């Protein structure tokens, strides 16, 4: 599990840890890790390389200067561009000068040339102390840096991104690598900021000792997903494994039904029951499906319903699914047709899977606003509907209505998944995991994980279709569970 903590939590944990350590010890740990990471990404050896330090007046600048001093002692030519020369971390600046480094300022005539010629630039403008968009001097440096061919390493965070939300409201540094200290910050895992961070390396500064056990955000890894996926045993039969009902598709969109069933068949339920107007198309592709052309109410027992993909404008099937006492996944038309109070007052759980446009319509804001502040949007929606919400897109997020439960961020996605119908596959897959007995948060996050991996396998670097994604799910499942004992 990879986890991220908010700034306030990091500050409290750092204070507690610092009180137990000699003065400056944490910053030295951070600087040592940072310098080692820089040495790794330098295209040639450290000796003789040209390094520029963009240095703000806080501790983020301090880390950067100490790391620069370490590189200078190994023979790099190091220049610090000081944003506020009279407020620069004094001890760190002395260390750099003693090691042979030099300084200049943001508006010096030599700064653009230094950036253009650098092999490596460290962004130490601002870290977790940054608030609001970058101030003009800092924004000027970020602009100059955008034209530099140098490798860019962001210190703790790319300057200009919001650490707690991943929002980017103005100029920000685009890094090749971000070296972050103690724990991830939410912004490093959530778009748009995640894109600015490049790859992320976490440096252990001993903070795990004082951080609270529950993070703000968590990201499942293979082993976590393997532990959650359902596994049949000798006692299993198709009903005990769970039956998932799919109320989807219409005469206009029969394909959505086929794709949702395709996902559902690969999600761990023992049987898929389809209701709707696309029975012929579904049976033609998947003869193993149990079909009926009644609504969900009369369709027979299921352990979870998927309602909405390609379903059209008839609100009845969605209402009937919501009236059941089993978990319901709402997607596409189902999101639009569901009554909010009905969702809020259900006893059984509801899982909603909107993309940014659908989330925007439900929240009454613009799509751009949802995409700019995905973490806020997913939390707001979960609270408004008292439901678990999976917000699809460039970083898929899953939130429950409980503000203390970490939001999950899916690490496996790929933009190749942005293809018509791949969301239908996801809804079937997640519904199937619900029917197999997973709680909504786990069903949604394991489904997103499998779906993302399947998208990568199906695409393999080239365009792919939703059907191929569904067919790649078993390979993703196998890869995830292969390393874990006792999976059949
Ligand atoms: N507290 C600790 O124990 C540790 C902190 N560390 C480093 O310290 C950083 C936090 O240091 P600080 O609390 O001093 O804060 P920062 O250095 O992140 O930011 C504060 C400075 O940035 C300026 N600033 C704020 N918003 C700005 C904006 N929008 N545009 C331009 N400048 C802006 C402020 O005027 C202030 O000078 C971490 O990100 C990390 O790099 C590490 O050394 C590890 C240990
Ligand atoms: N830029 C992106 N990067 C990663 N995944 C994406 C991106 N855009 C879309 N996706 C994924 O593709 C799928 C598309 O689903 P959706 O928007 O519902 O499409 P449809 O309605 O055609 O099925 C979702 O799983 C979503 O997370
Ligand atoms: K930074």
Q: Pick the ligand that lies closest to the CA of residue 62.
A: 1
Phi, psi of 48 (to 5 degrees): 85, -5
What's the gap in Å between 15 CA and the centre of ligand 1?
14
Contact 448, 469 (CB under 8 A): no
- Protein residue with its CA nearest to atom 36 in ligand 1: 58
Domain 222-482 architecture: 3-Layer(aba) Sandwich (3.40)
Kindly report the protein residue whose alpha carbon is nearest to atom 11 of ligand 1: 59
**Residue 458: CB partners within 8 Å, gap ≥ 6?**
416, 464, 465, 468, 469, 471, 472
Question: 309 CA to middle of ligand 2, Å?
Answer: 13
The SS3 of residue 271 is strand
Rounded CA-CA distance 292/279 in Å is 7
Question: Does the CB atom of residue 160 touch ligand 1 within 6 A?
Answer: no
pLDDT of residue 241: 86
Decide: 409 in ligand 2 pocket, CB within 6 A: no
Alpha carbon distance 201, 181 (integer Å): 9
Q: pTM value?
A: 0.95
**Is 312 annotated as a binding-site member?**
no
The Å distance, Cα 300 to ligand 3 centre, comes to 57
Indicate if ligand 1 lies below 6 Å from the C-beta of 122. no
Q: Which residue has the tokens 């200078």?
A: 72
Rounded Cα distance, 462 and 458, in Å:
8
- C-alpha 206/C-alpha 27 separation (Å) is 12
Those residues whose beta carbon sits under 5 angstroms from the ion ligand 3 are 123, 127, 154-155, 159
* Ligand 2 neighbourhood includes 423 CB (under 6 angstroms): yes
Those residues with Cβ within 8 angstroms of residue 177's Cβ, 6 or more apart along the chain or in another chain:
37, 41, 151, 152, 153, 154, 198, 199, 200, 201
Is the CB of residue 275 below 6 angstroms from any atom belonging to ligand 1? no
Tokens (6 digits) for 400: 């429950």
- Beta carbons within 10 angstroms of residue 40's beta carbon: 10
ipTM above 0.90, yes or no: yes
Q: Which residues contact 151 (CB under 8 A, 6 or more apart)?
A: 41, 42, 43, 119, 120, 121, 176, 177
Contact 408, 219 (CB under 8 A): yes
pLDDT of 233 reads 82
Cβ of residue 395 lying under 6 Å from some atom of ligand 2: no
What would the two tokens of residue 343 be? 């969702």
| 396 labelled binding-site residue | yes
Cα–Cα dist 280/263, whole Å = 18
Q: Is 422 in the pocket of ligand 2 (CB under 6 A)?
A: yes
> What is the 10 CA–ligand 3 centroid distance (Å)?
16
- For ligand 1, is residue 58 a contact (CB within 6 Å)? yes
Query: Can you tell me which atom of ligand 2 is nearest the CA of 451?
Result: 25
CA distance linking residue 239 with residue 436, whole number of Å: 10
Give me 36's structure tokens. 């080692």
State the ligand closest to the CA atom of 63. Answer: 1
Residue 123 C-alpha to ligand 3 middle, in angstroms? Answer: 5
C-alpha 78/C-alpha 72 separation (Å) is 6
Q: How far is the CA of 13 from the centre of ligand 1 (A)?
A: 16
**Residues β-bridged to residue 272:** 244
CATH number of 2-218: 3.40.50.10260
- Candidate of 28, 57, 59 to mutate for ligand 1, largest count of ligand atoms within 8 Å of Cβ: 59
Q: How many angstroms separate the CA atoms of 304 and 40, rounded?
A: 50
Rounded to the nearest angstrom, the gap between the alpha carbon of residue 151 and the centroid of all alpha carbons in its chain is 24
Quote the tokens at residue 203: 């440096």
Q: Say yes or no: CB of residue 127 within 6 Å of ligand 1.
A: yes
Mean pLDDT by 10 residues, the chain (488 residues): 97 97 96 98 94 98 98 98 97 98 96 97 97 92 95 98 96 98 97 97 97 97 95 82 96 97 96 96 98 92 97 96 98 98 98 98 98 97 98 97 97 95 98 97 98 97 97 97 73
- 467 annotated binding-site participant: no
Nearest ligand to the CA of 16 is: 1
pLDDT digits (tens, 9 = 90+) for 444-460: 999 999 999 999 999 99
The CA distance from 317 to 406, in Å, is 32
State yes or no: 295 annotated in a binding site: no
Predicted confidence (pLDDT) per residue in 321-367, tens digit: 999 999 999 999 999 999 999 999 999 999 999 999 999 999 999 99
Residue 181 near ligand 1, beta carbon < 6 Å: yes
Can you read off the two tokens belonging to residue 432?
A: 């199937």
From the CA of 86, the nearest ligand is 1
DSSP state, residue 85: G
Residue 392 Cβ < 6 Å to ligand 2: yes
Are 95 and 67 a contacting pair, CB within 8 Å? no
Annotated binding-site residue? 127:
yes
pLDDT score, position 232 = 85
Which pairs with CB-CB distance under 8 Å and at least 24 residues apart come from 101-107? 101/53, 101/65, 101/68, 101/69, 101/72, 102/78, 103/79, 104/79, 104/80, 105/81, 106/81, 106/82, 106/137, 106/138, 106/140, 106/141, 107/137, 107/140
pLDDT number for residue 486: 63
Ligand 1 pocket, 30 CB below 6 A?
yes
Q: How far is ligand 2, taken at its centre, from the CA of residue 221, in Å?
A: 20
Distance 132 CA to ligand 1 centre (A): 13
For residue 388, give the H/E element and its range. Answer: strand 388-391
Q: Where are the domains of the chain?
A: 2-218, 222-482
């Amino acid at each position: 599990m990879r986890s991220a903590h908010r700034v306030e939590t990091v500050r409290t944990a750092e204070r507690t840890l610092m009180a137990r350590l000699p003065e400056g010890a944490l910053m030295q740990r951070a600087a040592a890790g940072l310098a080692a990471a820089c040495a790794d990404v330098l295209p040639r050896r450290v000796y003789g390389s040209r390094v520029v330090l963009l240095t703000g007046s806080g501790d983020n600048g301090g880390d950067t200067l100490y790391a620069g001093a370490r590189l200078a002692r190994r023979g790099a030519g190091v220049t610090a561009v000081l944003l506020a020369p009279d407020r620069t971390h004094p001890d760190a600046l002395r260390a750099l000068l003693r090691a042979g480094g030099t300084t200049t300022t943001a508006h010096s005539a030599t700064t653009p040339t230094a950036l253009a010629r650098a092999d490596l630039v460290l962004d130490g403008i601002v870290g977790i102390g940054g608030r609001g968009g970058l101030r003009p001097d800092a924004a000027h440096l970020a602009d100059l840096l955008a034209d530099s061919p140098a490798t860019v390493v962001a210190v703790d965070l790319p300057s200009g991104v919001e650490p707690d939300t991943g929002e980017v409201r103005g100029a920000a540094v685009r890094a090749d690598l971000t070296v972050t200290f103690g724990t991830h910050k939410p912004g490093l895992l959530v778009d748009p900021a995640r894109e600015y961070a490049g790859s992320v390396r976490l440096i252990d500064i001993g903070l795990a000792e004082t951080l609270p056990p529950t993070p703000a955000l968590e990201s499942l890894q293979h082993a976590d997903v393997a532990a959650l996926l359902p596994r049949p045993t000798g006692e299993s039969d198709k009903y005990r494994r769970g039956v998932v009902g799919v109320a989807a598709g219409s005469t206009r969109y029969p394909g959505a039904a086929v794709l949702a069933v395709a996902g559902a068949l690969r999600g761990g339920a023992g049987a898929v029951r389809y209701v709707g107007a696309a029975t012929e198309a579904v049976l033609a592709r998947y003869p193993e499906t149990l079909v009926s052309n009644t609504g969900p109410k009369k369709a027979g027992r299921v352990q979870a319903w998927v309602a909405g993909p390609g379903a059209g404008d008839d609100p009845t099937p969605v209402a009937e699914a919501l009236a059941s006492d089993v978990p319901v996944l709402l997607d596409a038309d189902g999101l639009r047709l569901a009554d909010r109070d009905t969702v809020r007052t259900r006893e059984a759980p509801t899982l909603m899977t909107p993309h940014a446009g659908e989330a925007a319509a439900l929240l009454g804001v613009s799509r751009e606003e949802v995409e700019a502040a995905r973490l806020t949007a997913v939390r707001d929606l979960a609270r408004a509907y008292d439901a678990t919400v999976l917000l699809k897109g460039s970083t898929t997020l899953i939130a429950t209505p409980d503000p203390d439960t970490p939001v999950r961020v899916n690490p496996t996605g790929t933009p190749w998944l942005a293809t018509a119908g791949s969301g239908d596959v996801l809804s079937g897959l997640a519904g199937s995991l619900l029917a197999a007995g997973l709680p909504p948060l786990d069903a949604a996050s394991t489904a997103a994980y499998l779906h993302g991996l399947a998208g990568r396998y199906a695409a393999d670097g080239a365009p792919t279709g939703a059907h191929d994604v569904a067919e790649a799910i078993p390979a993703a499942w196998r890869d995830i569970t292969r390393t874990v004992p006792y999976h059949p």
